[in-house]
Structure 1
Amino acid sequence: MDNTYQVKLIETDHEIQQCWEVVFLLRPHLNKNNWATMISEMMQHEKYSIAGIMDNGRFVAFAGYRSMTSLHSGNIIYLDDLCTLESYRGKGLASQLLNYVKAVALSEKKDAVVLDTDFTNNTAQKVYLNNGFQLAALHLACPL
């Protein structure tokens, strides 16, 4: 892994907008016109944070996470989003972001970092398992 990559906490509307390329890769259903507003509201009302990694002035990887408490998992950080641009995959950026989120969780005395991933996303599952995550639950949803 190239140690020149630095994780940066994303805080401004401009920085949020700069993440669009990576976000759209993971969440193509989102609308670029309301992306920054949606994230700003999540940051303000839902304890949502974004960390990113830049290279040559552009974000090439990001992680979106939130602090929350649930009866099931306790006092946790829930990792909503993690993505790296395809041309930057295999450089350890996802692991670097996962380590960053785990460090945040430790510093905030959380019980765990929890996430969901698609059943078919074997590449992501391998990254998570190689970074200390364990299969702990089956996530179900009822579309309305």
Structure 2
Amino acid sequence: MNKSYQIRSVKTPTEVQQCWEVVSLLRPHLNKSNWIALAEEMMQQEQYFIDGIFDNDQFVAFAGYRYMTTLHTGNFIYIDDLCTLESHRGKGLASLLLEHVKSIAIANNKDAVALDTDFTNNGAQKVYLKSGFKLAALHLLCDVRK
């Protein structure tokens, strides 16, 4: 990575809005207004944090994560969202964000960092495995809205 990128915490409604271009790549089922409402609700009620990378004041990558405790994993950080603009992929930004979240987990005496990924997202899986993640479980989902 030639350029030195800085990771910043996203906290204000304006900053949440700036995330939309990247978020829409990862979560195309959302629209901008429900993304903003959901993100703000999650940040206020569920300890959801967003840390992002900006390049010339453009939001180009982000990690959305939360602190969790389960009997299976213990006290850990769960990464809900991780995405980079297509124009900035291949520059190590996802790896930088993963290392950033792992350092937060270590600083807060967490047991692990966990995430889920789509079975077909081979590019992201390579990044995760290279960053020290391992296949540890199979996540199953039953959509009850239908």
Compute the TM-score of the two structures, normalised by the length of structure 1. Answer: 0.98
Q: Which residue of 2 aligns with 1:38?
A: 38
Match of 2:13 in 1: 13
Q: 1:3: how far off?
A: 4.0
Give me the whole-angstrom Cα distance separating, in 1, the residues matched to 2:38 and 2:121: 26
Q: Deviations over 1:83-114 (max 9, x none)?
A: 00001000000000001100111111100000
Give CA deviations for 1:45-101 in whole Å, capped at 9, x if unaligned.
101000000001110000000001011111000000000000100000000000110
How does 1:37-116 map onto structure 2 within 5 Å?
37-116=37-116
Match in the other structure for 1:132: 132
Matched length: 144
Aligned-pair CA distance for 1:2: 2.8
Report the 3-state secondary structure (helix = DSSP H, G, I; strand = E; otherwise coil) of the residue aligned with 1:136: coil
Distance 1:139 1:75 in 2: 18
Q: Which amino acid aligns with 1:131?
A: S
Cα deviation, residue 38, structure 1: 1.2
Question: Aligned-pair RMSD on alpha carbons?
Answer: 0.8
Partner secondary structure for residue 120 of structure 1: coil
Matched residue, 1:29: 29
Q: Distance in 2 between matches of 1:120 and 1:34?
A: 26
Unaligned 5+ residue runs, structure 1?
none
User: Structure 1: which 4+ aligned runs deviate by more than 2 Å?
Assistant: none
Does the residue aligned with 2:117 lie in a helix, a strand or coil?
A: coil
Shift, 1:124, TM fit: 0.5
Identity %: 67
Q: Deviations over 1:28-53 (max 9, x none)?
A: 00121122221111011101000000
- 1:52 & 1:40 partners in 2: Cα distance? 15
